[in-house]
C-alpha cells in the first residue's frame, strides 16, 4: 500500500521524518568517525598542514619504541582490566541474578534496586568515593581490615605500581555489577516455568536444572553482557582519569587505551599533543572494538540461535 503511495508523489513525508535526525547523526557521529580514520593516515606538520603518510602512524604506534611501549602497555593493561570484569563482575552478576530469581523471594525489588544503585552514579563520583575509602590517611578500610584480623595485609593499593590497576578494576566491577545482574535476571525470568517443572519432575537437582536448562537458555544474554563489557572496557577513561589523572600513574601502570588516546591527542608534560597520532590511536581502538563485535556476532549469535526460545 505504501509503495503505491510512494510511486504517486515524491515522498516528502519520509524526508520530513528521517531528515533532521539523520542529519545530526551523520554530521556528529558518522562523519567524525570516518574523518578520524582518514586523519590517521596523515601527518601534521609544524605549521598545521596535513600530509598523507599512509600507514606510517600505525607503524610508529606498533613498532617504534617511543610510541609502541606506551601503546602495548595500554593495550595489555586494558586487556587485564577486561579480564577482571569477565572473571569477577559477570560471575557475581550471574550469581546475584540467580539468587534474585529464586521463587517466592521476599524483598526482591529492594535488593534489585539497591544493588543497582552504584551503576547510576557517575564514574567520577565513584572514583573519588573509593579514593577516600582506600586512603591510608582516612583509614576506613585499614581499620576495617584490622577489625577482621587482616590488618597486616592493608596497603596503599591505589598508589602501588603492582596493585593500582587491579584495584581500579575492582572499583569498576563494584560499580557496574548491577548491569549483568539485571540483564541476566530478566533472561532467567523469561524461561517458561514448564521447562523448569519438567526438569524437576524428571528428578534433576537444582544445580542440574541450572546447568542443563537455564544456563543454555541465558547464553545469548551472557554473550550480550560480555560484548557490552568489552566495548565499555576498551572505551573506559573516566575512572583512571579521576583517580590517577591523565598520566595514569604510578609509572603508567594504570594506563589504558582511553587515557592513552587522551594524552596522545592533547599532549602532556613530556610530549606535545598530535591530532593525527590521536586519530591513529582512535582508529586502533575502533579496530579492537570491531574485532570484538565481529567475534561476538560470529560466535554467539550463530551458535546459540538454536537455543533461542
Partner 1 sequence: MNFALPMKHNRGKALVTHAVLMTYTLIALFPIFVVIINSFKTRKAIFNDPLALPTAETFSLVGFEEVLLRSEFGLFFSNSLIVSVVSIFFVLLLGAMMAWALTEYSFKGNMLIGILVAMGIMIPIRLGTVSILELMSNLHLVNTLWALIFVYIAQGLPLAVYILSEFIKQVPKELKEAARCDGVSEIKIFFTIILPLIRPAMATVAVFTMIPIWNDLWFPLILAPSDGNQTITLGVQQFIGQYVTDWNSVLASLTLAIVPVLILYMIFSRQLIRGLTSGAVK
Q: Tell which positions 136-165 bind partner 1, by CB under 8 A.
A: 138-140, 143
Contact between 271 and partner 1 per CB under 8 A: no
Q: How many residues bind partner 1 (CB under 8 A)?
A: 88
* Contact region with partner 1 (CB under 8 A), list: 55-63, 78-86, 134-142, 209-217: 134-142
- Cell, residue 292: 570484538
- Dihedral angle sign, alpha carbons of residues 129, 134, 139, 145: positive
Interface pick for partner 1 out of 91, 122, 205, 216 (rule CB under 8 A) = 122
* Contact region with partner 1 (CB under 8 A), list: 47-55, 68-76, 119-127, 148-156: 119-127
* Contact region with partner 1 (CB under 8 A), list: 46-54, 72-80, 104-112, 156-164: 104-112
- The residue among 213 and 275 lying less far from partner 1, judged by its C-beta, is 275
**What's the min distance (Å) between Cβ of 40 and partner 1?**
9
Beta strands in the chain (DSSP E): 42-44, 50-52, 267-268, 271-272
Contact between 265 and partner 1 per CB under 8 A: yes
Q: Is 166 exposed, middle or buried (0-12, 13-18, 19+ CB in 10 A)?
A: middle
Interface pick for partner 1 out of 50, 58, 80, 111 (rule CB under 8 A) = 111
CA 198, CA 186: separation in Å to the nearest integer? 21
- The residue among 70 and 178 lying less far from partner 1, judged by its C-beta, is 178
Contact between 285 and partner 1 per CB under 8 A: yes
Contact between 67 and partner 1 per CB under 8 A: no
Find, among 186, 169, 176, the residue nearest to 115 by Cα.
176
**What's the min distance (Å) between Cβ of 275 and partner 1?**
6
CA 264, CA 240: separation in Å to the nearest integer? 16
**What's the min distance (Å) between Cβ of 236 and partner 1?**
10
**What's the min distance (Å) between Cβ of 133 and partner 1?**
5
CA 70, CA 62: separation in Å to the nearest integer? 10
Residues 233-252 that bind partner 1 (CB under 8 A): 235, 237-238, 241-242
CA 42, CA 136: separation in Å to the nearest integer? 47
Contact between 299 and partner 1 per CB under 8 A: no
- Give 17's contacts (C-beta < 8 A, 6+ positions apart): none
Instruction: Give CA separation, 141 vs 89, 193, 194, 303, in Å.
Output: 21, 44, 47, 45
Amino acid at each position: 500500500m505504501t509503495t503505491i503511495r510512494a510511486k504517486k508523489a515524491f515522498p516528502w513525508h519520509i524526508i520530513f521524518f528521517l531528515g533532521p535526525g539523520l542529519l545530526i547523526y551523520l554530521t556528529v557521529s558518522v562523519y567524525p568517525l570516518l574523518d578520524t580514520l582518514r586523519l590517521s593516515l596523515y601527518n601534521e606538520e609544524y605549521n598545521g598542514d596535513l600530509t598523507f603518510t599512509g600507514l606510517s602512524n600505525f607503524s610508529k604506534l606498533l613498532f617504534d619504541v617511543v610510541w609502541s611501549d606506551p601503546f602495548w602497555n595500554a593495550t595489555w593493561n586494558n586487556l587485564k582490566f577486561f579480564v577482571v570484569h569477565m572473571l569477577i563482575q559477570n560471575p557475581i552478576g550471574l550469581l546475584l541474578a540467580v539468587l534474585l530469581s529464586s521463587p517466592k523471594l521476599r524483598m526482591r525489588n529492594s535488593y534489585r534496586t539497591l544493588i543497582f544503585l552504584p551503576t547510576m552514579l557517575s564514574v567520577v563520583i565513584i572514583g573519588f568515593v573509593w579514593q577516600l575509602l582506600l586512603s591510608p590517611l582516612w583509614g576506613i578500610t585499614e581499620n576495617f581490615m584490622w577489625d577482621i584480623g587482616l590488618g597486616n595485609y592493608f596497603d596503599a593499593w591505589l598508589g602501588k605500581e603492582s596493585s593500582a590497576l587491579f584495584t581500579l578494576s575492582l572499583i569498576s566491577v563494584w560499580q557496574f555489577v548491577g548491569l549483568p545482574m539485571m540483564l541476566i535476571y530478566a533472561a532467567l525470568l523469561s524461561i517458561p516455568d514448564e521447562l523448569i517443572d519438567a526438569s524437576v519432575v524428571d528428578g534433576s537437582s537444582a544445580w542440574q536444572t541450572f546447568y542443563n536448562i537455564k544456563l543454555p537458555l541465558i547464553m545469548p544474554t551472557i554473550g550480550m553482557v560480555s560484548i557490552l563489557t568489552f566495548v565499555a572496557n576498551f572505551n573506559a577513561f573516566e575512572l583512571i582519569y579521576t583517580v590517577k589523572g591523565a598520566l595514569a600513574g604510578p609509572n603508567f601502570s594504570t594506563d589504558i587505551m582511553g587515557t592513552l588516546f587522551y594524552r596522545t591527542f592533547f599532549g602532556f608534560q613530556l610530549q606535545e599533543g598530535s591530532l593525527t597520532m590521536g586519530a591513529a590511536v582512535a582508529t586502533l581502538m575502533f579496530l579492537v572494538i570491531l574485532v570484538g563485535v565481529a567475534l561476538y556476532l560470529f560466535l554467539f549469535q550463530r551458535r546459540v540461535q538454536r537455543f533461542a526460545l
